[in-house]
Amino acid sequence: MKVARIVFPGFWFGESDLSTAKQLARMGVGGFCVYGGTAQQTLAFTQKMREVSPYNHLLICADINEDLTEVVPDAPALPSNISLGKCASAEGAYKKGNVLALQARSLGIDWLLAPVVDLGYTSPAFCEVPSCVTRLAGDFVAGLSNGGALNCIKYFPGVSGVLKTLAQMEDAEFMPYKSLFRRADAIMPSDMTFPNIDGENQAMLSDKILRGLLKKRLNYKGCILSFPLWKAYVRYEAAAALKMLHCGVENILAPADPFSVIEAIEREVNKGFLADEIIHSISNHEMAVSKVFAQPAVSMQEAFALAKDFCNKK
């Protein structure tokens, strides 16, 4: 069993070592999260990792909230989600998702860790109204899908519910998630603590929130991706990764030390734990790969031109 497949290391251009990334790809990691490379650097990296990976397709993730400029600085910026929310533009939300997917796929990026559906005035969600967020996020997700990219709804259970009871969150924070469950390729939990649900653990480490609330109470059947570990402020990364897997998380994203995380998972499996969970995760991984278009729909130049044209029309 290739337990490395459930780990997606980060690659930071200008900081990470390419030979180490190649070693991880050969070990059989499921993909990478890319950070800070130019468009040309990102494309070259994704092509090189796929050349050395033992799999038919390696999934490359972009850890974003709004657009690709967060991880590919020279990518064209797109209109903010909140600007689309102010004009309640379903067409604009769909178009943004579609253009973003075409941009990403032209660089070899398959999985866009977006949209954010947290409510609240500081959130990069489309607005503060649950029904509006649900509708526009759904249009955005449709645009991503038709552009050939995977999505990830985040950050469950929603930052504006941090001091609310479950009953108060039912018709607000949970609405976008429940409405988008069937269209979500994955859900990402928050790194925050929600005292009225589980005051002892961050959401991403909480069995009460992930198994008890998300999977059982809300009946979510799909994939759960970890919050990127490198920015989650956990003291013991490998132990946190194991705890997340036991809570129902299926893929570990961007650990600072992927080798120690992979070793810890292997030790846990050798003890007789997590085998069924990892088999299930790999099965879902194969399903995710099957949803990605084999080839990008347009070239990088065409995708970036479409993005600039979209911005000029907004």
Q: How far apart are CA 176 and CA 271, in angstroms?
A: 39
Q: How far apart are CA 30 and CA 292, in angstroms?
A: 14
Read off the tokens for 80.
Answer: 């903010």
Give every strand in the sheet of 31-35, ordered side by side. Answer: 10-12, 31-35, 59-62, 111-112
Average pLDDT over residues 78-107: 89
Res 121: pLDDT? 63
Sign of CA dihedral 46, 222, 264, 253: positive
pLDDT at 87 exceeding the cut of 90: no
From 157, 224, 232, select the one nearest 197 (Cα to Cα). Answer: 157
Question: By mean pLDDT, which of 78-82, 97-101, 105-109, 182-186 is the weakest?
Answer: 78-82
Are the C-beta atoms of residues 261 and 255 closer than 8 Å to each other?
Answer: yes
Average pLDDT over residues 14-40: 97
Q: How far apart are CA 65 and CA 79, in angstroms?
A: 12
pLDDT at 113 exceeding the cut of 80: yes
- Name the pLDDT band for 311 (thresholds 50, 70, 90): confident
Res 89: pLDDT? 66
- Find the helix packing angle between 90-106 and 300-313, rounded to 10°: 160
Q: How far apart are CA 42 and CA 119, in angstroms?
A: 32
Each residue of 238-253: pLDDT tens digit? 999 999 999 999 999 9
Res 123: pLDDT? 73
Average pLDDT over residues 286-314: 86
Res 233: pLDDT? 84
Each residue of 268-285: pLDDT tens digit? 999 999 988 888 898 888
